Structure formats: structure tokens, C-alpha cells
Amino acid sequence: MIRGTVAIVGRPNVGKSTIFNRLIGQRKSIVDDTPGVTRDRIYGEVEWLTQKFRLIDTGGIQIEDQAFASQINMQVEIAIEEADLIVMVVSCKEGVMSDDMVIARKLQKTNKPVLVAVNKVDNEQLQMQSYEFYQLGLTNPICISGVHGIGIGDLLDEIISKLPEKQIKPYEGITSFCVIGRPNVGKSSLVNAILKEERVIVSDIEGTTRDAIDTSFKVDGQEYMIIDTAGIRKKGKIYENIEKYSILRALNAIDRSNVVLFVIDGIRGITEQDKHVAGLAHDAGKGVIIVYNKWDAIEKDDKTMDKIKKEIRAQFLYLDYAPIAFTSALTHSKVNQLLPLINLVHDNCTLRVATNVLNDVVLDAQMMNPAKPHLGKQLKIFYVSQVSVEPPTFVLFVNDPELLHFSYKRYIENKIREAFGFEGTPIHIIARARN
Ligand code: GDP
Ligand code: GDP
């Protein structure tokens, strides 16, 4: 369970992406001496003392051809909007610069916790220089060195202790879903189309506070929640169209949902950016429905749908479990199929199968097609147990977990799906040694 989102802000070259990489423990973003180099990866998960949080490097969110001042402005605003805690990075090498003061002044106005990390404190002598950062009027500076890994543990302790207590949990007893996709695929049109269906009773649309951005509604006594409808509806804000920013928003929405509607623009067809968005849904382990929208605007004959289905399957191999819906938010065509699909997928995400039947299925599969020996050793599955739901997770108790090859895992997964369905939900399979 993710405890919240932490954003790193600061002017270029203070060491934000170095620290980001250090914290997420992988070299996922590009570090370069040129200020403002575009980074590939701007978010990741950090685990510290059994706590997990999401980390964003706002330095990686950029608008092309914008002046430096407006870039910084945007980064700080996004941090204030999206994060639960902000780490402002400064550099003891350069000392307090006027751009640092500009950022600090903006951060002084937020009521979210702000930490100051003085970077490039590569040795103890340099610590004295950190005092000048009291001028920023924020909290006590924490000395670190991103390159040498000094003080990183202290920074993490401080983050964990200041991160507000807040559990991001899907709503209990309600089916919650979000609608994600590139800008202009028709997300807000779809939400409006769903809410205009005859039997829908909306109880709360667009609250004024940040927490009331979810819309709840009832159909035939069943309650649903659309997550982050404000994000979907809010139009005309320049940031909304920045890909990296829309991805951050999507991540937060996915966290709080049971089912994700991943929307593709039928007029444009599948793009690279769609693949990125689809990956988010799959990685999160949530139920997924692929919605091919703007179906009204496509020239078609009786073969078109099958052709597109094939193309979707080929482009999103890992989403082979996700059902595909063809909709038009404009004419409302097939929009009424979405709620029944959401119900089905949510049921599958929470499905528990009987242990004896599960064991019959998996052990039969093994008997029909035993694993190929690896380095002279043969995998042996003794029994299986479903340990959790959302996503359904199965533990295979085996002689040696190292022997479970990817392709054999896939085979077992397919057999489980053949027997029990699980349409719309990823399933996880883990091997453990039998004691
Ligand atoms: P960003 O623009 O704020 O993301 O900064 P980068 O992470 O790209 O770092 C800018 C430069 O500062 C790079 O040359 C880094 O190697 C260097 N740098 C980062 N952290 C440290 C540090 O702790 N000590 C020293 N001496 N240099 C650092
Ligand atoms: P969002 O940015 O993903 O929320 O997309 P919008 O809902 O704002 O839609 C973007 C544009 O696509 C608008 O001009 C919509 O009228 C149009 N649009 C949305 N859904 C459909 C559809 O099913 N068919 C057609 N023809 N246009 C659509």
C-alpha cells in the first residue's frame, strides 16, 4: 500500500535527478551536466522501513519552448497540487541563489510539509555552509550528498515521519473506477455519457475541495465511484496536456480504483503514448477494460471490429486478459455496456476459487505437461494456494522456486484462466519452496 506522494523540486543542476535515482535505488533517469536534460522516468516507488511512497522528480516535467521562470513555476505548482510532501533541493556548492528564493516563497504558501535538502555536502567541512539555507524560511536544512549517498537515510526518516497519515484505499463496498488515456481520447465525454444514462442517479458531482473530486452514483441499487472526475473535467489548464503530468494524475487515480477504463481514440488509432498509459494500468495490478472510443467516426464494415481487436491484442500483449469495448461517447452507442463490464471485471478481481478445484487444475496441468528440466533439475509443484485477491494471487509450493521459468508460469496462468475465467484482472503467480 502506497502511503502518499513525495515531490522533489528545485532549480536545475542542484542534483534532483541524482537524488531521485538514489532514492528509488535504480538508475532510471538520465543524469547529465547540462541543466534541464529531459528525463525518461520521473516517478518511482520508494520503500523505507516497510513504508512505501511514490516519488516524483518534477524537474522531468517540462513544457517545450517555455521560459525558465514558467518551467519552475509549473513544477512547483504541480508539486503543491499533487504531492503530500515536498522536498526542496538546493546546492551547497552554489549557496542560496535568487531562483531558490523564488521557489521557497511559493512553497511557504502551501500547508503541505516541505523539507529542505542541501545537496552536494560531500564532506563534513561543507556542512557549515548549509546554515545559509535558513534564509529560505522553510524547515531546518538536511545535509545530503546524492552522489556519495551521504545523509540519504536521514532524509528518508524525515520524509516518513512528516508524511501525513493517509491511507489511499479504494472505497469499501463500492465499485470504484477511473478513466485514463491520452488527452482528447474522450475521457470526459465518456464519463458524462455514463452519467447521462437513464438509470443513473448521481449523488455528488465535483465538490469544491481537493478530496471531493470523485463522483458517486447509483444504478439499480449498486453504488459506483468515478475517481478523479475533476481531473477529467478540468479543461483549459495548460498542464493537463503535458504527457508526464497527465501520467502522474493517472497514477494517483489508479491507486484508488478497483477497475481502470483505458481509453483509446478510435480516430487516431493506437499511439506510443497509449502503450505507456496501458502499462500503468497493468503494472498496478488493477482490473482493466480497454475502451476503443469514437467508434461512430470510423468507417467500417463487418470485418473492422475483428481487425481492430487483433491489432489491440498485438500492441498490448500483456493486457490479453482485458475485455475490449467499442463505444461512442458522442452517440452513446454501447456506453451502456460499460457498467456491466465493470461489474464483471470487479467480481473477477475479487474472485476466490476453491482450493481443491484449484489444486486439481494445476496438478493436472503439470501432469499433462511437466516443466522442462533446467540444469538437470526438474520443477515439481506440490500444491497451490490462492493467498489474496485484487489481484488474485496464487502461491505454488514447489521443490525449488528458481526452477519456475517464465514460460511455465505463463502456462500455469493460462490453465488457471481456462478453468476459472478471471477476465479483466491480472493474476499473480509466486513460487515458494515447500518446507
Ligand atoms: P538536476 O538538474 O537538479 O536534476 O541535477 P542532476 O541530478 O542532473 O545533477 C546536476 C549535477 O550535479 C551533475 O553533474 C551531478 O553529478 C552533480 N551532483 C549531483 N549530486 C551531487 C553531489 O552530491 N555532490 C556533487 N559534488 N555533485 C553532485
Ligand atoms: P478527454 O481529453 O480525453 O477528456 O477528451 P474529451 O472528452 O474532451 O473529448 C475530446 C474531443 O473528442 C471532443 O471534441 C469530443 O467531442 C470528441 N469526442 C469524444 N468522444 C467522442 C466519440 O465517441 N466520437 C466522436 N466522434 N468524438 C468524440
16-24 and 152-162 helices, crossing angle to 10°: 80
- Residue 29 or residue 258, greater confidence: 258
Ligand nearest, relative to CA of residue 59: 1
Mean pLDDT of 201-229: 73
CB 72 within 8 A of CB 102: yes
- CATH for 175-348, options being 3.40.50.12780, 3.40.50.300, 3.40.710.10, 3.40.30.10: 3.40.50.300
Q: Report the alpha-carbon distance of residue 295 to residue 301 in Å, rounded.
A: 12
- Any ligand 2 atom below 6 A from CB of 106: no
CATH H-level, domain 355-433: superfamily: K homology (KH) domain (3.30.300.20)
pLDDT at 199: 76
pLDDT at 33: 42
Ligand nearest, relative to CA of residue 194: 2
- Residue 140 or residue 244, greater confidence: 140
Binding residues: 10-17, 57-61, 119-122, 181-188, 228-232, 293-296
- Any ligand 2 atom below 6 A from CB of 184: yes
pLDDT in tens, 2-16: 788 999 999 999 999
Percent of the chain at pLDDT > 90 equals 63
pLDDT at 36: 41
Ligand 2 pocket test: which of 178, 184, 190 has the largest number of ligand atoms within 8 Å of its C-beta? 184
Q: Do domains 175-348 and 355-433 have the same CATH topology?
A: no
Mean pLDDT of 189-217: 72
Does the domain spanning 2-162 belong to CATH 3.40.50.12280? no
pLDDT at 190: 94
- CA distances to 144, 321, 357, 392, 401 from 385, rounded to whole Å, are 45, 21, 11, 11, 15
pLDDT at 203: 66
- Any ligand 1 atom below 6 A from CB of 35: yes
Q: Report the alpha-carbon distance of residue 267 to residue 311 in Å, rounded.
A: 14
SS3 state at 78 = helix
| Residue 89 scores a pLDDT above 50 | yes
Locate the domains of the chain by residue range.
2-162, 175-348, 355-433
SS3 state at 76 = helix
* Of 412, 349, 421, 356, the residue nearest 379 (C-alpha): 412
